[in-house]
């Protein structure tokens, strides 16, 4: 739903390029990737928190994937003149969908664990453990949606 709402903004006649928002997302993802890489190199991949059985794992896939996604969005910014406004909004919609998926999954995990009787810190960290899988699954799903959107929107138009 979020992807469709954002992507539909590109259908308007007076739609302006959302390249600034895409570049902000690119910078954020690159910063997340670099930060997670630094944490992983200094503290190791498993971070132990006292009082919690689960260890917070900084999976290398997460920071590599964040860097690749950020660099990919950066390349979209560089080649934005070659892309239509509609495609740029579809890409922005994909980014918004990933962000919504991550935040929603994280908050839902915290609330579910709090209702189950966990402490707030335990719920927070346990919910954070599932974020790498959510990021990867959401990103691939939405990437495929954008890749399919471009040719399908052209064929529906004709």
pLDDT tens, residue by residue, 80-117: 888 888 888 888 888 888 888 888 888 998 999 899 98
Q: Per-residue confidence at 8, pLDDT binned at 50, 70, 90?
A: confident
Report the pLDDT value the prediction gives residue 50, as an integer from 0 to 100: 66
pLDDT at position 112: 92
Dihedrals φ, ψ of 146, to 5°?
-70, -45
Strand partners, 57: 46
- Is the pLDDT at 51 greater than 70, yes or no? no
Query: How far is residue 136's CA from residue 51's CA, in Å, rounded to a whole number?
Result: 29
Query: CA-to-CA distance for 38 and 36, rounded, in angstroms?
Result: 5
The reported pTM is 0.73
Compute the distance between CA of residue 75 and CA of residue 69 in angstroms, rounded to an integer.
Answer: 10
Residue 31: predicted pLDDT: 93
Say how many domains are in the chain. Answer: 1
Q: Say what the pLDDT of residue 54 is.
A: 66
Q: What is the DSSP string of 99-138?
A: HHHHHHHHHHHHHHHHHTT--HHHHHHHHHHTHHHHHHHH
Tokens representing 47? 């971070």
pLDDT band at 118 (very low <50, low <70, confident <90, very high): confident
pLDDT at 52: 65
Could you list the residue range(s) of the whole structural domain that residue 55 is in? 2-157
pLDDT at 156 over 90: no
pLDDT (0 to 100) of residue 107:
92
Indicate if the pLDDT at residue 38 is higher than 80.
Answer: yes
Helix (H) or strand (E) holding 57: strand 56-57
Read off the tokens for 17: 């390029």
DSSP H or E segment with residue 29: helix 19-43
The tokens describing 150, both together, are 């471009």
More confident residue, 50 or 116: 116
Quote the mean pLDDT of the chain: 82
């Amino acid at each position: 739903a979020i992807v469709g709402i954002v992507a539909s903004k590109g259908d308007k006649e007076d739609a302006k390029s959302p390249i600034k928002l895409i570049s902000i997302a690119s910078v954020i993802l690159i910063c997340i990737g670099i930060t997670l890489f630094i944490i992983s190199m200094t503290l190791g991949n498993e971070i132990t928190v006292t009082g919690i059985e689960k260890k917070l794992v900084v999976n290398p896939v997460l920071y590599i994937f964040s860097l690749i996604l950020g660099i990919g969005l950066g390349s979209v910014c560089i080649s934005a003149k070659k892309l239509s406004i509609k495609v740029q909004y579809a890409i922005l919609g994909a980014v918004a969908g990933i962000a919504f998926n991550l935040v929603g999954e994280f908050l839902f995990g915290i609330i579910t664990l709090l209702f189950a009787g966990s402490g707030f810190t335990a719920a927070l960290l346990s919910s954070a453990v599932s974020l790498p899988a959510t990021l990867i699954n959401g990103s691939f799903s939405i990437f495929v949606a954008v890749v399919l959107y471009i040719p399908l929107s052209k064929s529906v138009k004709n």
